[in-house]
Amino acid sequence: MENSGAEAIRVVALGNDGDGIAQTPQGRVFVPGTMPGDEIVLASQTGTQGVLEQVVTPGPDRVTPVCSLFGTCGGCRLQHMALPAMMAWKAARVTEALKRAGFTTLPAPATRQVSPHGRRRVDLAFRRMDRQIVLGLHRRRGDVVDMTECALLDPTIFALLDPLRQMLHSLPAVHAGGDIQINLLDSGPDLLIAMDGTPDANDRRILAQFSKTHGIPRISLRTQPPETLALTGPVFHHFDTARVVPPPGAFLQPSREGEDAIKAAVLAGLPRKGLKAGIIELYAGCGTLSFALAQHAKVLAYEGDRAAFACLKQASGGTRVLPALRDLNRQPVMATELGRAGAVVLDPPHAGAGAQMAQIVAGKPRHIIYVSCNPAALQRDLTPLQQMGYRLESLTVIDQFLWSAEVESVCVLTLPGTTRPNRR
């Protein structure tokens, strides 16, 4: 429906995906690029989706986007929103999820927002277009937008983009395009590439030279398992005092600042007493939290991904980290074991803890520290804990996905009558 000449309408809230919500005669409408307080005119409306024509009067927290690609590149959705307002909105999303889970008394959330230019993990697409390589992110349901600037990426990663364009253009194995994941490890950038051709000896020679020239220890091909295409130096990363060798495409927290904030909130939530029984860590990954936790107690660290488990196991010698390979959805750690732990720490995937949650509820561990990247899954997983009588002792909300709708949180829970967590 075309809305030419329509009267201005007011945006009253943000949806979970970061689109503004306004009320029209046709009903509620979601409008990308708007925010609460904006008086806007729609160019068109189809069902519940609106297209912005003009902001007549900006809301109090609207700012000028920091990147000229905003609105075209698919990487940021909220650069028109002031950072303090964004932090408050994300904290409100988490607290609302906890209220819906049944918690009526909530501690004031501690908040942490990372700095721009700190993202050390990115997935990019590349395409051959007009005899050049376009490298960047997809616009919403559209083509790849060339990433000519970015306020998110670590400068080390961004400086690689132009050389990558030139190198990918020269690769015979790249026909129409592919995608590339970059992890900035302590040893340097780690690349995992998928392309639409099969790399031959000439491709490998080009990749090896590129690695040497730009200080990239490893380039891998996205196969199952990944195949190393170029290896020009040691690959390593540090989690506290442990030196690990992450597999290609390993999960890292997107920023060092964000990782440090999560770790600090988890460690602050550990109980003062009772850790002689040890800590059970679920979804341990390559050890982001494991080695920090091991400075306080023995850690039985469960991980279901074989490559991440192998990384964790290789680095765990001489530490108090005891890795265990286990698919926690198919074979959850049982209630009796969880109930004996001094604390249970879990950082589940975006979908939540799944079948593992029922065993946690049944085991009634005294202390639970739940790290979440999804308020909806947080609400679903914590609802039965609230019903069992768990109390929310502390809440930390972390914005490490700047200008997006994503939010991290750390919830510290105890059963009444148990030792309260250390307020360190």
132 annotated as belonging to a binding site for a ligand: no
Beta bridge partners of 123: 181
Report CA-CA distances (Å) from 112 to 87, 223, 240, 371, 376.
8, 37, 20, 14, 20
Residue 222 CA to residue 190 CA, distance in Å, equals 13
Beta bridge partners of 412: 369, 394
What does 217-274 look like in DSSP terms, one character per residue? Answer: -EEEE-SSS-EEEEE-S---EEETTEEE-PPTT----SBHHHHHHHHHHHHHTSBSS-
Q: Kindly give the residue spans of alpha helices, DSSP state H, lying in 294-373.
A: 306-315, 335-340, 356-363
The answer to whether 59 and 123 are in contact (CB under 8 A) is no
The token pair at 188 is 């340097």
347 annotated as belonging to a binding site for a ligand: yes
- 373 among known catalytic residues: yes
318 CB-near residues (< 8 Å, 6+ apart): none
Q: DSSP state, 50? A: E
Residue 81 CA to residue 86 CA, distance in Å, equals 6
303 annotated as belonging to a binding site for a ligand: yes
209 annotated as belonging to a binding site for a ligand: no
54 CB-near residues (< 8 Å, 6+ apart): 40, 41
Could you say which of 73, 311, 373, 411 is catalytic?
373
Annotated binding site: 253, 283, 303, 347
Looking at the annotation, which residues are catalytic?
373
Annotated binding site for S-adenosyl-L-methionine: 253, 283, 303, 347
